Chains A and B, each alone.
Chain A
Amino acid sequence: MKKRFRLSEFLAEKLITATAFMSFTFIVLIFIFVFRETLPIFSAPDEIAATEELGEQETYGNIVLTDAERAVEEKQNKSIAAEEGVTAKNLAGDRWQPISGKPKYGLLPLIIGSLKVSLIAVLLAAPIGILAALFTAAFAPKWAKEALKPMIEILAGFPSVVIGFFALVVLATFIQDFFGLEYRLNAFVGGVALSLAVIPIIFTISEDAISAVPKSLTEASLALGATKWQTALKVVLPAATPGIFASVILGVGRAFGETMIVLMATGNAALTSADPFEPVRTMSATIGAEMAEVVFGETHYNVLFLIGSILFLFTFTLNAIAEIFVRQRLMKKFSGN
């Protein structure tokens, strides 16, 4: 039987497909427009890659630097940006002083700041989130489950500016008094506050992973005489490891990209140090604090977009890794059945 052509059907399908395609277009546009604004910094596109690599593996900074430096020097005559002092060397420096007579755009303190705060946040959030998820999925009686899940949703629903405000007003004073600190706002306060935003992510995905472990596995373990906790720790947890790992990776991504909490709670001083109790300035907070004041098209503006691109690439990579782990877990589950 031949299908009759109907205009309304045709239009509906085309309209819906076109709209759906828009969400794909926008992700492409985000890529293009965030990276486009970084271009004026560099005289040639291949140097972007070199510098971005620098950002992600600072330990090899010196080696990469000499190459990138030479490349920049060669083109220095042509490049307007180079005249203003933005070179790979400048970007890899340890001073972030964008507003001064001789501006310095060293990204190192910002990258270290982001890593420091994220690390503290995830180190705190991972045990809490994973163990609470284990409790909910493996041990908890029904009423506890039903009480805990809305709590997590409420925590996930806290606007980040509310957490930031809480950290700024309450948490910072408490931590300063408790540890007897010199600075009220520091990386540790930011990390603790940030962990509140990371816990729901780690909890939710870990809980999914633990719940997805096939019943046959737990039942086999229990039938062999193992107790409930032995089953939970030795059978369920190992089987859910890929999913739990993915949850932690996504947590790192969230911590790295979060802006308002760190902007309000970390003190925002671009210091290069390993001390968790000193103020830090993260990459996201730098964009948040400075973008409103820069002039469109000047070097500072472009460097802020460069920081945004690095953030984007970093979280993008983390999400891709997490995705692979989740998919592996699913495949394992299916092959297990």
Chain B
Amino acid sequence: MTITKRKILGTIAYTVPAFFALVIVAIVLFVMTYIVIGGWDSLTMDFLLGSPEEGMTKGGIFPAIFGTFLLVVIMSLAGVPVGTFTAIYLSEYASQKSILARLIRFAVNTLAGVPAIVFGLFGLGFFIQFVGAGVDKTLYNDGMLHWGQPNILWASLTMALLTLPVVIVAVEEAIKTVPRELREASLALGATKWQTIRKVVIPNSITGMLTGGILAVSRGAGEVAPILFTGAAYFLPHLPSGLSDQFMELGYHIYIMATQSPDVEATRGIQYATTLVLLLLTFALNFSAIFLRYRLRKRIIT
């Protein structure tokens, strides 16, 4: 091979991958710019704090923002403790060879790969038709639906299940960054295992746990498929007042407004602005997670 040929080939081998890397950057910037431009004008305080009006053709999206907020709060309350405890079990208590630890690891991996819509089916089949209907039968038994129908509790629990792997992986990663020496020092001073976990491991990995929680919230706020038939509503005149109420949600609002609304073209502004709100929300969440993780990594190095 001559030198020039080698050089040309080398340039190609370098430029083509670089070009594709650029393509990704271009895609991200293009999508974001387009949505920001499209939604910016409609994004006002009235829009953020108002309710939909005139058959959803005007007005704001406050109920959807509120519903999303409620969804991720209940989801976190249910999912983050379970995820954190599971991660603590996997990294502190279980030996890597124990069958239970392996089973749990397998389950977490599987859970991470299950399509979001299947979680929705599970929410419907288990939470609504099995647990909810069961509660109705035993507690009320008046032939009416109380819990055996889509509501915010079942949607949140379904979402908690979906985000469980995110929490577990992030918390485990955080716990791994706690140096062995710290644990050993604590144990050598006579502290018990649980004391060591509580006073040494958890405080030192709190940033990572926070990252896990934020990533889970971001994922939960962005997913729509699991709540399509477990609790999200097209339009509600008032905010949910209890756990057995349905709710409006940002992502579902975008889907409904863009595909099912009577006059899709007339509400484009609302659609863009809602998308922008959701995008900014997940962006802010992801950004803070990235920032926290960056600080965490820096700590490991120093």
Tally B residues with Cβ within 8 Å of A.
85
Query: Is the pair A155, B108 in contact by a Cβ cutoff of 8 Å?
Result: no
Contacts of A319 in B (CB 8 A): 109-110, 113
Query: Is the pair B116, A257 in contact by a Cβ cutoff of 8 Å?
Result: yes
Query: Is the pair A154, B283 in contact by a Cβ cutoff of 8 Å?
Result: yes
Query: Is the pair B104, A23 in contact by a Cβ cutoff of 8 Å?
Result: yes
Residue of A nearest to B215 (CB): A157
Query: Is the pair A260, B18 in contact by a Cβ cutoff of 8 Å?
Result: no
Given contacts A33-B126, A264-B258, A319-B113, contact A160 B24 (CB under 8 A): no
Q: Shortest beta-carbon distance, B155 to chain A, in Å?
A: 13
Query: Is the pair B254, A161 in contact by a Cβ cutoff of 8 Å?
Result: yes
Contacts of A135 in B (CB 8 A): 17-18, 20-21
A-B contact pairs, 20 of them (CB 8 A): A12-B194, A17-B100, A20-B85, A20-B89, A21-B100, A26-B164, A27-B107, A33-B126, A33-B130, A34-B121, A134-B17, A159-B251, A161-B224, A168-B258, A169-B258, A229-B9, A305-B121, A308-B121, A312-B114, A316-B113
Query: Is the pair B107, A159 in contact by a Cβ cutoff of 8 Å?
Result: no
Query: Is the pair B24, A26 in contact by a Cβ cutoff of 8 Å?
Result: no
* Per-residue B-contact encoding for A165-205, CB less than 8 Å = 1, 0 else: 11011100000000000000000000000001001000100
Query: Is the pair A160, B27 in contact by a Cβ cutoff of 8 Å?
Result: no
List residues of B (207-239) whose CB comes within 8 Å of A's CBs.
Answer: 218, 221-225, 228-229
* Per-residue A-contact encoding for B123-134, CB less than 8 Å = 1, 0 else: 011100110000
Q: How many A-B residue pairs have CB under 8 A?
A: 260
Q: Shortest beta-carbon distance, B215 to chain A, in Å?
A: 9
Top 6 nearest A-B pairs (CB, nearest first) are: A257-B115, A159-B222, A135-B17, A20-B89, A229-B13, A19-B85
A151-B25, A157-B283 provided; 16 other pairs, C-beta below 8 A?
Answer: A9-B193, A19-B85, A23-B82, A23-B86, A24-B107, A33-B130, A135-B21, A140-B18, A152-B24, A160-B222, A162-B279, A166-B34, A169-B272, A199-B27, A259-B224, A308-B117
Q: Is the interface of A mostly helix, strand, loop or mixed?
A: helix
Q: Which of B111, B126, B218, B282 has the most CB of A within 10 A?
A: B126
Query: Is the pair A20, B104 in contact by a Cβ cutoff of 8 Å?
Result: yes
Given contacts A132-B23, A161-B251, A162-B222, contact A315 B9 (CB under 8 A): no
Q: Which of A28, A158, A253, A288 has the most CB of B within 10 A?
A: A158
Residue of B nearest to A293 (CB): B229
A22 adjacent to chain B (CB < 8 Å): yes
Of the candidates B24, B88, B259, B275, the one whose C-beta lies within 8 Å of that of A132 is B24
Of the candidates B21, B85, B119, B275, the one whose C-beta lies within 8 Å of that of A162 is B275
Residue of B nearest to A264 (CB): B259
B161 adjacent to chain A (CB < 8 Å): yes
Q: Shortest beta-carbon distance, A150 to chain B, in Å?
A: 6
Q: Shortest beta-carbon distance, A337 to chain B, in Å?
A: 20
Contacts of A257 in B (CB 8 A): 114-118
List residues of A (273-321) whose CB comes within 8 Å of B's CBs.
Answer: 284, 287-288, 291-292, 296, 304-305, 308, 311-312, 315-316, 318-319
Contacts of B25 in A (CB 8 A): 147-148, 151
Of the candidates A34, A154, A166, A292, the one whose C-beta lies within 8 Å of that of B228 is A292
Given contacts A158-B282, A169-B268, A203-B24, contact A21 B104 (CB under 8 A): yes
Q: Is the interface of B mostly helix, strand, loop or mixed?
A: helix
Query: Is the pair A164, B24 in contact by a Cβ cutoff of 8 Å?
Result: no
Contacts of A134 in B (CB 8 A): 17
Which A residues have a C-beta under 8 Å from some C-beta of B?
6, 8-9, 12-13, 15-17, 19-24, 26-30, 33-34, 36-37, 127-128, 131-132, 134-136, 138-140, 144, 147-148, 150-155, 157-166, 168-170, 196, 199, 203, 227-230, 232-233, 250, 253, 256-260, 263-264, 284, 287-288, 291-292, 296, 304-305, 308, 311-312, 315-316, 318-319, 323
Contacts of A152 in B (CB 8 A): 24
In the complex, A19→B80 CA distance in Å?
A: 11
Contacts of B100 in A (CB 8 A): 17, 20-21, 24
In the complex, A20→B83 CA distance in Å?
A: 8
In the complex, A144→B19 CA distance in Å?
A: 12
Q: Which of A22, A30, A36, A264 has the most CB of B within 10 A?
A: A30
In the complex, A335→B6 CA distance in Å?
A: 33
List residues of B (8-33) whose CB comes within 8 Å of A's CBs.
Answer: 9-10, 13-14, 16-18, 20-21, 23-25, 27-28, 31-32
Given contacts A153-B290, A264-B259, A316-B110, contact A308 B118 (CB under 8 A): yes
B286 adjacent to chain A (CB < 8 Å): yes
